[in-house]
Amino acid sequence: MDFLNAIVALANYVLVPGIAYGSQLALGALGVTLIYGILRFSNFAHGDTMAFGAMVTVLLTWWFQSMGVSLGPLPTALLALPFGVLGCVFMLLATDRAVYRFYREKKAKPVILVIVSMGVMFIMNGIVRFIVGPDDQQFLDGERFLISARTFKEMTGLNEGLAIKSTQAITLVTAIVVVALLFWFLNRTRAGKSMRAYSDNEDLALLSGVNPERVVMLTWIIVAALATIAGVLYGLDKSFKPFTYFQLLLPIFASAIVGGLGNPLGAIAGGFVIAFSEVTITYAWKKVLGYLMPDNLAPDGLVQLLSTDYKFAVSFVILLIVLLFKPTGLFKGQSV
């Protein structure tokens, strides 16, 4: 019985939040990795792109809510999501036309593009703060829990409850659908294959008649969709606050690099590696150990390895270890 309790407590505090957070990071890292693969620079504006897409979705969600439109038990935000994606696509294509294209045609060095993306980051951050302000925004409605801790306890008779928030379930389902679609697109369609070809060897792809501007446009569209979905899912699960998206930049880059920059499969794996390390290292293990160990050995303290504020440090240390020992990432990414 104690053993079951321990497993349930572990699932409740580590597995379920870790899976949800990991899916969000994976979606974010996919966007970073695609831009790196096709456009060949690290996009520092990615966090703020996520914030922008999520902001459009939040505004539309409020509008739908005010009109009384809802999806019943599901959050209204899901209804607004496609429009949020559209808004973000429009924004990114406009940015590409106004900013990035000039440097692409000049064949500027990647580091210049990184600095340019810093400028874009400032502007997007400013726009988002200008429109919705820097504060926390609530836009979640519908059913709160798939299973609440109390129902679970009544069902199983265990001491520990297993709560699954509906947003966590939605995150996982959406992430699986999105990733499946993305891989189908990259591996099965002609456009997707041309993107991969362009990423593998630019010159060869150009010789075979791949239109680079079309590839770049497709990339931005896909990145906009990924960023918006990741941003909205994170916002639903935690809360929407512009600054947190900027802070997500570090774990997202860590995920992409740990997986191997430019490798989509790696980005997903990296997302989960980072998410689970953050959650396990900052989780107080007292409860789980209390169930597993004999009474006289049960720990006194919280058995928390690091306080939650150090979660950035965790993603960073993993990043550093991978960079030092396996610079191309766990899955083979593009050169170092």
Partner 1 sequence: MNAMVKNVGLFAIVGVLILLTGFLQSWNAAVLILNMGLISAIMALGVNLQWGFAGLFNIGVMGFVALGGLATVLVSMPPTEGAFAAGGVRVVLALVLGAATITAAVLIHGAMQKGWLRTAAMIVLLVVGFFVYRAVLDPGVAAIEAIDPAATGYLGGLGLPVLIAWPVGGLFAAGAAWLIGKTALGLRSDYLAIATLGIAEIIIAVMKNEDWLSRGVKNVIGIPRPVPYEIDLQGDPGFVERAAGLGLDPVMASTLYVKLLYAGLFLTVLVLLLWMAQRALASPWGRMLRAIRDNEVAAEAMGKDVKRRHLQVFILGSAICGIAGAMMTTLDSQLTPSSYQPLRFTFLVWVMVIVGGSGNNFGAVLGGFLIWFLWVQVEPMGRLLMDVITAGMTDGYWLKVHLLESAAHMRLFTMGLVLLLVLRFNPRGLIPEK
Measured from the CB atom, the residue of 185 and 243 that comes closer to partner 1 is: 243
State the DSSP H helix or E strand holding residue 147, giving kind and residue range, or none if neither: strand 145-147
- What's the CA gap between 273 and 260, in Å, rounded? 12
- 3-class state of residue 74 by DSSP: strand
Question: Using CB under 8 A, which of 23, 24, 33, 125 touches partner 1?
Answer: 125
Question: Using CB under 8 A, which of 10, 164, 229, 254 touches partner 1?
Answer: 254
Count of beta carbons in the 10 Å neighbourhood of residue 141: 17
Size of the site for partner 1 (CB under 8 A): 47
Q: What is the footprint of partner 1 within residues 228-247 (CB under 8 A)? A: 246-247
Q: Would you count residue 127 as binding partner 1 (CB under 8 A)?
A: yes
Cα 129 off chain centre by: 21
Residue 249 near residue 231 (C-beta atoms within 8 A) = no
Q: Would you count residue 73 as binding partner 1 (CB under 8 A)?
A: no
Show the site string, 207-226: x = touches partner 1 by CB under 8 A, - = not.
--------------------
Rg (CA), the chain: 21
Q: What's the min distance (Å) between Cβ of 226 and partner 1?
A: 19
Q: Would you count residue 131 as binding partner 1 (CB under 8 A)?
A: yes
Measured from the CB atom, the residue of 115 and 173 that comes closer to partner 1 is: 115
- What's the CA gap between 261 and 134, in Å, rounded? 31
Measured from the CB atom, the residue of 179 and 256 that comes closer to partner 1 is: 256
Q: Would you count residue 250 as binding partner 1 (CB under 8 A)?
A: yes
Measured from the CB atom, the residue of 316 and 331 that comes closer to partner 1 is: 316
At 271, which amino acid appears? G
Q: Would you count residue 116 as binding partner 1 (CB under 8 A)?
A: yes
Count of beta carbons in the 10 Å neighbourhood of residue 28: 31
